[in-house]
Amino acid sequence: AQSVTQPDIHITVSEGASLELRCNYSYGATPYLFWYVQSPGQGLQLLLKYFSGDTLVQGIKGFEAEFKRSQSSFNLRKPSVHWSDAAEYFCAVGRSNDYKLSFGAGTTVTVRA
């Protein structure tokens, strides 16, 4: 079975600074990988996804993520955070032969002025 680890429970970053959120997965084959964002009181919004091909994927809101097979990682980055990026971020892994997802526990991002 696949699993996802997000090592950082909470990250605080200054507005305008760069952000990197870590995600490690466990899965025997090539996974489908996702990052979702959840603002307070809201549902989950897809930021970006990786299925195959180019290992650096671009998403919405200026986010990008890089798939590194050798490290079983799919870290999310943003060069310059805005106060509106304060939210909870979830990494998820899926399999190519079914539609179920496994989620990490999430990383809460606080943005200070």
Partner 1 sequence: NAGVTQTPKFQVLKTGQSMTLQCAQDMNHNSMYWYRQDPGMGLRLIYYSASEGTTDKGEVPNGYNVSRLNKREFSLRLESAAPSQTSVYFCASSVNQPQHFGDGTRLSIL
Give CA–CA dist 98/61, Å, rounded.
29
Work out whether 63 is an interface residue with partner 1 (CB under 8 A): no
Work out whether 42 is an interface residue with partner 1 (CB under 8 A): yes
Work out whether 43 is an interface residue with partner 1 (CB under 8 A): yes
| Residue of 12, 18, 30, 45 interacting with partner 1 (CB under 8 A) | 45
Work out whether 51 is an interface residue with partner 1 (CB under 8 A): yes
Give CA–CA dist 50/34, Å, rounded.
6
| Residue of 9, 28, 40, 53 interacting with partner 1 (CB under 8 A) | 9
Contacting residues for 61 by C-beta, under 8 A, at least 6 apart: 37, 47, 78, 85
